[in-house]
Structure formats: C-alpha cells, structure tokens
C-alpha cells in the first residue's frame, strides 16, 4: 500500500494528474489505469481518475504483491560521520521508490542498513537510475535542509564523467533552457527558449577513436540536463536510450523486449555512460569544505579501456 497526502500545492488537481506528480515518469494513461485498479479513499471508497483532490485528504494505492525487477543492491560508502553519509550508487539502482520499484531502491536499502529511525540517512539529491556515482545523504533534518539548500543555491559543485560519441572540442559551455516535451514521451526533456535556464560546462579529458571521455559540470540542476545538452552539441552519451542517435526508439524497445543482444549491439552499453564522479560541499557540521569522489565503475572503465585497444 502506498499513501499520498494531498498538500496545498496539489489541492484542486485531478486525481490522475496528482498521481502523475507523486510517482515520476508515469504516463497519464498509466496513472488512470492504476487509479481504476487500486486507488481508494481512507474510508475505503474506490476512486476515479477525474476526481478532484482536496487539501489534507489521503489517497491510498492498494495492490497485490508483485515481483520487482532485479537491480544491483550492493553500494559502497565513500564517507560517513555523525551528520553525512556519502554512498557510491551502482548503475541500475533507483534512488526513490516508483510504481515499479519499492524495496529495490537506495532509500529502502539505507533503512535496512542503518535502521528506520530519526538517524537513517536521508537522500539529499537525485541521480537517474542508470547513472552511477556519489549520492549525499544527511543524518538529521538540519543537515538535510542545509545540504539541499546548498544545491538549490548552487553553492555546491558536482562533476560528472561521461563517455560520449565523437571527438569533442577541448572545452566549452552549453547554455540552453530545458522544459518537458510537449509531444512524444512525457519522460523526456527538450530544448525550449521559454524553459528554465540550464547551463553545463564540459571539458574533453581524452579522445579514443570515435569516443571522448569528458568532464561535465552542471551549473544548474535540470532533469536530464547533461544528457540533453551533450546530445544538443552532437555528442550524445554512449548507451543513452532516450537522447542517443535513435532518439526515443531504444527506450520504447527496451520497455517492450528488454535488453536483447541486437539492442545492446546498437547501444554499445546496457546503460548510459554517465557517472557522478565528484561532489564538493560545505559540511553541515562546522562548514568545512569537503570533496567526495567515486572512481569510474568497472563497466565504464572496461569500455573505455577497450577503445584504447581498438584504436
């Protein structure tokens, strides 16, 4: 059973839109099916997709148990103290629960490891499921608030490593606003002049044949920003199912058939070659500057080493 309280910002919204907002990446049609199958009021009345939600009410989604897809569940701890835990999230592990993942999430695994009490590490920012690397967690409400405020105010610095298609110029900056797509897959973002500002710094570290290893520093934190920006300058990230050379086709194919050998041959990697390599922030207890680093994981390191042998 999932429980969603309706806060003021959502009051007056259709129930299907509310469920879309609370469970990321749901299409409206999927949200409507979920509501018809398993949505109830706190009193046990079945819900309808077109109902309007009211502030303070609780929406319940009740469904039979199901088999969650297997995901990597082992994660390393890069740093731990009384206020902060930094983990090295493996690619394939969702950060938060969704309609598909509940127990197989970083949040659930943290509660299993540290206990479900006031000191359980609270995840302070997001990574896409297929992106690996550093995730900062706070061990108190105060530390969580300070870390999140630092990200929102752009005081903290993130640096990613990515393997992209093509020979990237030495360095540059992409300044292109992003917004959710108006047509096609609702999970995607697109370049749009009236969208929120989005800025990315990139630097080529090395080129091997038809690929470049780049350092990416987002100056803003928009959804899918690095992936869209690199695709926009003609260097999509290897393995990206949404923003690669075939646009959204591999994403839909993967949903329908899974990772077939033919699809893997086209993508070259089963996941996007994007890794959250480094986060620099002020420690919430005392303000000292810290940099947490996660080494390039084996799958990306092996792919990059293979390009040297192919050159």
User: Cα–Cα distance between 120 and 41 in angstroms, integer?
Assistant: 30
Strand ranges, E, within the chain = 2-5, 39-40, 58-61, 76-80, 84-89, 122-123, 132-138, 157-165, 171-175, 178-180, 189-191, 199-208, 211-218, 274-282, 289-293
Q: Is 225 exposed, middle or buried (0-12, 13-18, 19+ CB in 10 A)?
A: buried
Q: Which residues pair with 204 in a beta bridge?
A: 214
Q: Can 81 be counted among the known catalytic residues?
A: no
User: Cα–Cα distance between 241 and 243 in angstroms, integer?
Assistant: 6
Query: Hey, is 172 helix, strand or coil?
Result: strand
Please identify which residue in the block is written with the tokens 């039979």: 64
Task: Please identify which of the residues 16, 88, 128, 240 carries the catalytic annotation.
Answer: 128
Task: Show the CA angle centred on residue 93, arms to residues 91 and 99, nearest 5°.
Answer: 135
Q: Give me the active site residues, please.
A: 128
């Amino acid at each position: 059973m999932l429980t969603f309280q309706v806060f003021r910002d959502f009051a007056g919204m259709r129930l299907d839109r509310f469920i879309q907002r609370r469970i990321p990446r749901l299409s409206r049609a999927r949200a409507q099916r979920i509501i018809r199958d398993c949505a109830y009021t706190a009193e046990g009345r079945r819900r309808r997709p077109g109902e309007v939600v009211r502030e303070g009410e609780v929406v319940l989604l009740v469904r039979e148990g199901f088999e969650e897809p297997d995901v990597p569940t082992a994660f390393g701890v890069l740093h731990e103290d009384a206020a902060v835990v930094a983990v090295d999230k493996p690619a394939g592990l969702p950060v938060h629960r969704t309609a598909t993942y509940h127990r197989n999430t970083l949040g659930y695994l943290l509660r299993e490891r540290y206990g479900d009490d006031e000191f359980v590490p609270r995840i302070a920012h997001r990574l896409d499921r297929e992106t690996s690397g550093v995730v900062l967690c706070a061990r108190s409400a105060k530390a969580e608030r300070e870390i999140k405020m630092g990200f929102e105010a752009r005081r903290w610095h993130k640096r990613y490593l990515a393997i992209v298609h093509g020979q990237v110029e030495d360095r540059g900056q992409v300044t292109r606003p992003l917004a959710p797509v108006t047509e096609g897959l609702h999970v995607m973002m697109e370049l749009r002049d009236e969208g929120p500002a989005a800025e990315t710094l990139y630097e080529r570290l090395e080129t091997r044949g038809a690929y470049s290893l780049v350092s990416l520093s987002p100056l803003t934190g928009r959804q899918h920003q690095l992936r869209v920006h690199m695709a926009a300058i003609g260097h999509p990230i290897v393995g990206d199912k949404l923003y690669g050379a075939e646009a959204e086709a591999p994403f839909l194919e993967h949903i329908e058939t899974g990772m077939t050998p033919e699809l893997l041959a086209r993508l070259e990697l089963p996941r996007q070659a994007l890794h959250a390599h480094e986060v620099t922030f002020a420690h919430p207890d005392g303000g000292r500057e810290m940099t947490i680093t996660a080494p390039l994981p084996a799958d990306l390191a092996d792919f990059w080493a293979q390009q040297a042998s192919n050159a």
